Amino acid sequence: MAGVERINFSSNDYLGLANHPALKEAAVRAVERFGAGSGASRLVCGSLAPHHELDDALAVFKGTEAALSFSSGYAAAMGTVCALVGKGDIVILDKLIHACLIDAARLSGATVRVFKHNDLADLEEILVWAGAERQKPSATPAPVGRPSQVLVITESVFSMDGDLAPLRNIVELKERHGAWLMVDEAHGTGLFGEHRRGVIEAMEVSGRVEIQMGTLGKSLGAAGGYIAGSRMLIDWLVNRARSFIFSTAPAPAAAAAAIAAIELVGSGEGEERRQALWGRVNRLKERVIGRGWLLPAVQSAILPLMVGPESEAVRISRELYDQGILIPAIRYPTVARGKARLRLTATASHTWEEIERLDAALAALVSAPVGPGD
Ligand SMILES: *Cc1c(COP(=O)(O)O)cnc(C)c1O
């Protein structure tokens, strides 16, 4: 940056796959064979071999009946939520859900309610309310002449806080109240579970989440988004998800790189890279705590250094930048006002020496952090 090398501690390329030779090679080969672009929407004539192979590979990787890739995680969220619910339905979101799912819920036309972050009692209260609401004879009929539906949406690993959703409890609640559950695994895929499918696998709720969502652009090192679930869900989306239907198919190189990434993540090397990542996460935690920062109890590659005031977060970020460390300050509207932070992330490709350089930069800060946001 500006002619000076800086160490990136804010990437979501957790497994270091974006520059892996296997992904680059797959992308280059796809360009040579299929060209730079797809030329049309998938439903017209843009569906190329890598797109079909990617959908199949995603379903096998996730252990679901079917899967569908989108041009981004954002597009997957928009297309899917709007295809599943509308006026007369109810969407219940975790307070800290990603912006793409807030936008999707709003655009869908459904009634939107928000529960306190990871708060099961609050979620249950809203589910009880929703149950009563959908029984009311005065309720607006749902658009396709079916009973009113309730959809709960949460993330498995929260993108700016690094904490995990209590998925087992949420699954029990949504089942008890007859709701659907959509889980965004953007920061869980590739990192959790025996087969590295995500937190849904790790928490053993695989068959009980109707809609699994994620991105191909983080741990998988490529670009695009996906939905995994039942055959019926995927068939519905192919015919109803507007961000899928009315958008040019992703570049074949992106799809091919994602296929290579899925293969890699599922292999022994995937497990080695995950272990390398956790080793670096643990070292970073030690160093950060050793320098006087309070870290929330997170079990992910996202370590939020909570600062509070926006200006203070910007100051610390600048000081680190001057010392060769890149960790941008995360501020409103990405997080709530007064909860600014440095979102520190580890990747499998950080060297131990780079971590020591971060430690030295933290030690040299003009003043210590003011304390955690809460
Ligand atoms: C990054 C992200 C997305 C969007 O995925 P893209 O592929 O970048 O569009 C969705 N949800 C969460 C939680 C994310 O962090």
| Helix, strand, coil tally for the chain in percent (to 5) | 45, 15, 40
pLDDT the model gives residue 373 = 43
- Backbone φ and ψ for 78, nearest 5 degrees, come out as -60, -50
The predicted pLDDT at position 183 comes to 98
For the chain (length 374 residues), average pLDDT per consecutive 10? 94 98 98 97 96 98 98 98 96 98 98 98 98 79 75 97 97 98 98 98 97 98 98 98 98 98 98 98 96 88 95 96 96 94 97 97 79 48
pLDDT value of residue 320? 97
Q: How many CB atoms lie within 10 A of CB 360?
A: 14
Neighbours of 121 (CB within 10 A): 9
Angle at 96 between CA 194 and CA 66, to 5 degrees: 45
Torsion of CA 311, 312, 318, 321, to 10 degrees: -140
Pocket test for ligand 1, best of 10, 13, 215, 335 (most atoms within 8 A of CB): 215
What's the confidence (pLDDT) of residue 134?
A: 86
Q: What is the pTM of this model?
A: 0.96
Q: Is 98 a catalytic residue?
A: yes
Give the pLDDT score at 56. 98
pLDDT of 146: 77
**20: annotated active-site residue:** no
What confidence score (pLDDT) does residue 374 get? 45
User: Among the atoms of ligand 1, which is closest to the Cα of residue 74?
Assistant: 9
Query: Distance between the two ends of the chain, CA-based, in angstroms?
Result: 33
| CB-ligand 1 contact for 97 (6 Å cutoff) | no
Q: What does the pLDDT read at residue 135?
A: 82
